Amino acid sequence: MHVEPWMWIAFTAFILAMLCVDLLMNRDAHEVSMREAGIWSGVWVTLGLAFGGLLWAWQGSVVAGEYIAGYLIEKSLSVDNIFVFALLFSYFAVPPRYQHRVLFWGVFGALIFRILFIAGGAALLDKFHWMIFVFGGFLVVTGIRMAMHKETEVHPEKNPVLKMLRRIIPITGSYHGKGFFTRVNGKRMATPLLAVLVVVETTDIIFAIDSIPAIFAVTRDTFIVFTSNAFAILGLRAMYFLLAGLIAKFRFLSVGLASVLVFVGIKMLISEWYHIPIALSLAFIATAITASVIASMKFPAEEPAVPVGEGLETIATDT
């Protein structure tokens, strides 16, 4: 669809305004309650679906369906992010009152990287038509690997960006309030909170490698790809505080997500010869995710043992 430049500017301004509102509402470090997380989750989901309704009224059901499909894909894949974030926060023993601050700036950085990824993906598909088969094959392989994956392991101490950070600036062995930097004996140092932010950001980049090609499988419109990503990511923080304590019990969710990736990968691979209707894509995505959640609730898994606080010992350079 044709999108005027002012529409991009208006949407970007809206996203930045909502981030500012979120920052102002949470300027004081505090532990986010289930009630607060539930309210904000409702706000973000309502805004995301309302935008889909706006697209329906403006461009019709097909465009709106592509947006909703992209939104559902990104929202579903972000559940994996939540589980990994929970492991990271436990590994680095991040106090609950500072977790929202890390996620806020993590989301801000994620939006910037998503813009770059979307622009790069669109450029590749426009310039090299055969990239559609590369993206499709990648999604199928990723889906199969996700279905076969049994355990999630966290080794942030091996993160190359974190290793580089440690060489650039020393990191304290304890938290100093909500700051990412502090001074110890007159020497400027980073706090573990900055290290956690770096790991969270690089983790999201890895997840984006899966999610961006998946959305391009349901639409080539960069405006739809970005808006569906943006609304899904904006609700990530609230969804984390709402589901972090429960997400480990969803043992079959990875199977549902894997089937979605395989489906959209196949959709992309055969798009030259057959176009799977967007209604069918929506139905499959919704059914796969819903079925995996119901199965997980009926047969919940035990929560895995998570190393608590070990990360502080591996990153500290002030000893």
**Positions of E strands within the chain:** 181-184, 187-190
Q: Is the pLDDT assigned to residue 42 strictly greater than 60?
A: yes
How high does pLDDT run on average in the chain? 81
Location of structure tokens 């984390």: 240
Asked if the structure places residue 158 within a domain, the reply is: no
Tell me 171's DSSP state: B
pLDDT confidence bin for 310, thresholds 50/70/90: low
CA 51 to chain centre: 19
Q: What is the pLDDT of residue 55?
A: 92
Report, in angstroms and rounded to the nearest whole number, the Rg of the chain calculated over CA atoms. 20
pLDDT above 90 covers what percent of the chain? 8
Q: Is the pLDDT assigned to residue 302 strictly greater than 70?
A: no
Q: What angle do CA 88, 77, 101 make, to 5 degrees?
A: 40
Q: What is the pLDDT of residue 176?
A: 81
Distance CA 191, CA 41 (A): 29
Reference 129, options 294, 272, 306, 226; nearest CA is: 272
Q: What does the block give as tokens for 85?
A: 């974030």
pLDDT confidence bin for 299, thresholds 50/70/90: confident
Asked if the structure places residue 26 within a domain, the reply is: yes
Asked if the structure places residue 174 within a domain, the reply is: no
pLDDT confidence bin for 82, thresholds 50/70/90: confident
Reference 78, options 232, 219, 209, 227; nearest CA is: 232
Location of structure tokens 């909500």: 178
CA–CA distance from 91 to each of 84, 270, 314, 315 (Å)? 10, 43, 10, 11
pTM: 0.81
DSSP string for 67-122: HHHHHHHHHHHHHHHHHHHHHHHHHTT--HHHHHHHHHHHHHHHHHHHHHHHHHHH
Asked if the structure places residue 186 within a domain, the reply is: no
Location of structure tokens 């309030």: 177
Q: What is the pLDDT of residue 179?
A: 84
Q: What is the pLDDT of residue 307?
A: 55
Q: Which residue has the higher pLDDT, 56 or 35?
A: 56
> Mean pLDDT over residues 37-41, rounded?
86
> Mean pLDDT over residues 122-144, rounded?
85
Asked if the structure places residue 248 within a domain, the reply is: yes
Q: Is the pLDDT assigned to residue 317 strictly greater than 90?
A: no
Q: Is the pLDDT assigned to residue 51 strictly greater than 60?
A: yes
Q: What is the pLDDT of residue 29?
A: 72
CB 184 within 8 A of CB 30: no
pLDDT confidence bin for 49, thresholds 50/70/90: very high
Distance CA 235, CA 103 (A): 11
Total tally of structural domains belonging to the chain: 1
pLDDT confidence bin for 319, thresholds 50/70/90: very low
CA atoms within 13 A on the CB side of 155: 4
Q: What is the pLDDT of residue 52?
A: 92
Q: What is the pLDDT of residue 138?
A: 84
Structural domain harbouring 215:
5-151+195-315
Q: Is the pLDDT assigned to residue 53 strictly greater than 90?
A: yes
> Mean pLDDT over residues 3-13, rounded?
88
pLDDT in tens, 267-297: 888 888 888 888 888 888 889 888 988 887 7
> Mean pLDDT over residues 245-254, rounded?
70
> Mean pLDDT over residues 177-185, rounded?
84
Asked if the structure places residue 41 within a domain, the reply is: yes
Distance CA 204, CA 162 (A): 14
Q: What is the pLDDT of residue 79?
A: 74
pLDDT confidence bin for 32, thresholds 50/70/90: confident
Asked if the structure places residue 177 within a domain, the reply is: no
Asked if the structure places residue 179 within a domain, the reply is: no
pLDDT above 70 covers what percent of the chain? 88
